[in-house]
Structure 1
Amino acid sequence: MATEDSFGPSQDDLFEHYRFTASKGQEPLRVDKFLMNFIENATRNKIQKAAKDGNIWVNDIIVKQNYKVKAGDEVKVLFEHPPYEFLLTPENIPLSIVYEDEVLLVVNKPAGMVVHPGHGNYSGTLINALVYHFDNLPNNSSERPGLVHRIDKDTSGLLVIAKTEAAMTHLAKQFFEKTSEREYVALVWGNVEADRGTIEGHLARHPKNRLQMTVFPEGDEGKEAVTHYKVLERLGYVTLVSCKLETGRTHQIRVHMKYIGHTLFNDERYGGDKILKGTTFTKYKQFVENAFKVLPRQALHAKTLGFEHPVTGEMMRFDSELPDDMVNCIDKWRNYAQHST
């Protein structure tokens, strides 16, 4: 039986949260910096505390924060609290329900809400809200009740949630077989030259920054990813585009648009929170900064969702309005484009 003493919890009271294997191309890097590149929402203080408490292991040996990670090293981090799947606390958080019946529901997720609990986000998530409002939601393979697919924290828009095991299986199969319909609207940097096009390129974790995904055009790593885009409106230094997903990879639209030179507006993780196109005039810089304040997140909204109903076989299609922050930002760019030509 585990015991505690004045020096804190014993090894038996700790929970393994993360396990990483350094890639072949990994250059020697301090383990605290290495983990900062791997763990979303981690702070330097938290990682250094884990090291100080003896909770960072490399190749099954406890290491200090200045240990240099090398290619092939297996790094794992332990914390006193259990991983998120043990922390699915029901929370009375309002849901914007677009549609509901006996086997599924469609919700419109606001920007800023995390879909499921994870490191640094153990409460206030969509899953916390769902387990409060609905009993006996089915679990998927990742122990995330009702969840068929997901969108990023700072992406707004539509998600379908399964209420039964049969619905979960049926809907998951549609997403896997690419028969579901998903259309996003994005505001991207630059003037997208072609009115429409298709972006193809396998996606995998960036070898040096594991919080980012990157394109492997040769297909030697990662998973197949296909995005079809269409220009909706040209607004000078930015373009409003529609993106239809043929596959649904992590950060797919964000990475694919950056890959063709059109990073999403104010996408901090992929560099869109800097002035990527435009002039050097002070007034322009002030305008862009104001636009960032109006839309303090990446300009991406999951606007349309379509799928076959698991019971009736009916093709269902849902559409949502752009949220106010995106509308206001687009209006600012529209006004700027009209007055700068």
Structure 2
Amino acid sequence: MKEYKIADNAAGQRLDRFLGKILPLADTAFLHRMLRKKNITRNDKKAEGSERLAAGDVVRLWFSDETYQKFSGERQSAQHFPQWDGLKDAIVFENDCLLALNKPVGMLSQKATPRDVSVNEYMLGYLAAKGEYHPEQAGEFKPGVVNRLDRNTSGLVLAAKSLAVAQALSEQLREKQLRKFYLACVKGEVREAMRLSAFLYKDKSGNRVCIRKTRESEEDREIQTAFRPLAIRDNLSLLEVELLTGRSHQIRAQLAALGHPIIGDPKYGDRTENSYFMQRYGLKHQLLHAYQLRFPTEEAALKPLSGKIISATPPELFTELFPEVN
């Protein structure tokens, strides 16, 4: 018999999904058959699988060791995580429910392939070392990054420490309640604040998007972006950009369509400007930084974050180009 006591950070998930984590080699039919026969119980009672688990619930598997090993697979008692020497310096906010990191350029937010190393793995190693995550305990909630940035966009990445927080943050992002602000260094002089509405079409074959004034196909997605100038210098502008909708490459493509491409952007930028900044500063990426998140008034799981503003310092080149904004 195997027994699992549900931790606080794993509460709220469905029983059948929990079982899928601890018995990854078992199919759905097997799990539901075991539930019907009471070979799997919740708090020593028969369960259907659709129940939401609460902290302190006890799930018991009345299996032989052989059956358990067959469906659970081999689990390591310890797990090696990659190390990032700059992680502690990158932490801009942490409490019992959330970890906010200032991601550098060149690092993935989450894995794109199994061999990748991302902020997510570094974060898990950090929490494991603190004793806030135990990878050897089957079924425990696995903390994870809830928002993504392009590899070559720097700035704020959030990681949820519990299932309830992950779900609440995902809902905030989906309902556009969490306000997201970026810093963008663009070509040309921008002297007025604007709110842009357009339609975005994604060319999946080239991993590129185009901006249209009107909807031309069912695949076009409406986008909205607001910005205001913070500084102007040498035919460059530093903009504060609020992402009102969250589409792939939205800020980069929409500013380029307006005639103010982001400096260093290899996909949507100005080649002449990019060449100059490459030669002078060694710049190989877009000067776009996710610098601030503003949380709405909240209750329940996100109450500790209610009304909070989290900010992340931009890379040095931003302040070098615009020293008055420091």
The TM-score with structure 1 as length reference comes to: 0.60
Question: Is 1:105–2:99 an aligned residue pair?
Answer: yes
CA contact (8 A) 1:191 1:238 kept: yes
Does the 8 A contact of 2:109 with 2:157 survive in 1? no
Using the alignment, how far apart are the partners of 2:291 and 2:126 within structure 1? Answer: 24
Q: 1:145 to 1:254 in 2, by over 3 A?
A: farther
2:284 aligns with one of 285, 292, 296: 296
1:315 match: 307
The residue aligned with 1:167 is: 165
Matched, 1:197 2:194: yes
Deviation at 1:262, TM superposition (A): 1.0
Name 1:328's counterpart in structure 2: 320
The question of whether the paired residues in 1 share the 8 Å contact of 2:92 and 2:311 is answered with no
* Corresponding residue number in structure 1 for 2:149: 151
SS of residue paired to 1:315: coil
Q: In structure 1, what is the equivalent of residue 212 of structure 2?
A: 216
2:242 corresponds, among 235, 241, 244, to 244
Could you tell me how far apart the structure 2 residues matched to 1:113 and 1:90 are?
16
The answer for the alignment partner of 2:203 in structure 1 is 206
Max Rg structure: 2
What corresponds to 2:266 in structure 1?
Answer: 268
Residue among 185, 195, 210 paired with 1:187:
185
Structure 1 residues 145-177: Cα deviation after superposition (integer angstroms, max 9, x where no partner): 512111111111112211111101111111111
Give the Cα separation in 2 of the matches to 1:89 and 1:328. 39
Q: Using the alignment, how far apart are the partners of 1:236 and 1:311 within structure 2? A: 43
For residues 10-57 of structure 1, what are the alpha-carbon distances to aligned partners after superposition, in whole Å with 9 as ceiling and x for unaligned? xxxxxxxxxxxxxxxxxxxxxxxxxxxxxxxxxxxxxxxxxxxxxxxx
Task: Specify which of 114, 118, 122 is matched with residue 112 of structure 2.
Answer: 118
Deviation per CA, 1:173-199: give whole Å up to 9, x if none. 11111111111111111222x511012
Cα distance, 1:237 vs structure 2: 2.1
Paired residue type of 1:320: A
The Cα shift of 1:131 comes to 2.3
CA contact (8 A) 1:90 1:130 kept: no
Instruction: Report percent identity of matched pairs.
Output: 26
CA distance in 1, matches of 2:253, 2:80: 33
1:184·1:244 contact (CA, 8 Å) conserved in 2?
yes
Give yes or no for contact 1:291–1:329 (8 Å, CA) kept in 2. no
CA contact (8 A) 2:264 2:277 kept: no
How far off its partner does 1:289 sit? 4.2
- CA contact under 8 A between 2:265 and 2:285: conserved in structure 1? yes
Q: What SS does structure 1 have at the residue aligned with 2:181?
A: strand
In structure 2, the CA distance between the partners of 1:268 and 1:89, relative to structure 1 (3 Å rule), is: farther
Q: Residues 147 and 289 from structure 1, CA distance in 2 versus in 1: closer, same or farther, beyond 3 angstroms?
A: closer
Contact residue 289 and residue 314 of structure 2 kept, 8 A: yes
The answer on whether the counterparts of 1:93 and 1:124 sit within 8 Å (CA) in structure 2 is: no
Gaps of 5+ in 2: 1-78, 128-132, 136-141
- Paired with 1:212 and 1:89, the residues of 2 have a C-alpha distance of 36
Instruction: Give the match's secondary structure for 1:270.
Output: coil
1:163 maps to a residue whose letter is K
Shift of residue 330, structure 1, vs aligned partner: 4.0
**Matched letter for residue 202 of structure 2:** R
CA contact (8 A) 2:108 2:118 kept: yes
Q: Which amino acid is the alignment partner of residue 211 of structure 2?
A: V
TM-score (norm. length: structure 2): 0.63
Paired with 1:100 and 1:288, the residues of 2 have a C-alpha distance of 35
* Contact 1:266-1:292 within 8 A present in 2 as well: no
- Equivalenced residues, count: 227
Instruction: Name the CA distance, whole Å, in 1 between partners of 2:290 and 2:239.
Output: 12
- Asked if residue 235 in structure 1 is aligned to residue 226 in structure 2, the reply is no
Change (3 A) 1:103 1:288: closer
In 2, distance between residues paired with 1:248 and 1:128? 24
1:93 aligns with one of 76, 79, 84: 84
Letter in 1 for 2:195: T
Change (3 A) 1:214 1:133: same
Give the CA RMSD over aligned residues: 2.8
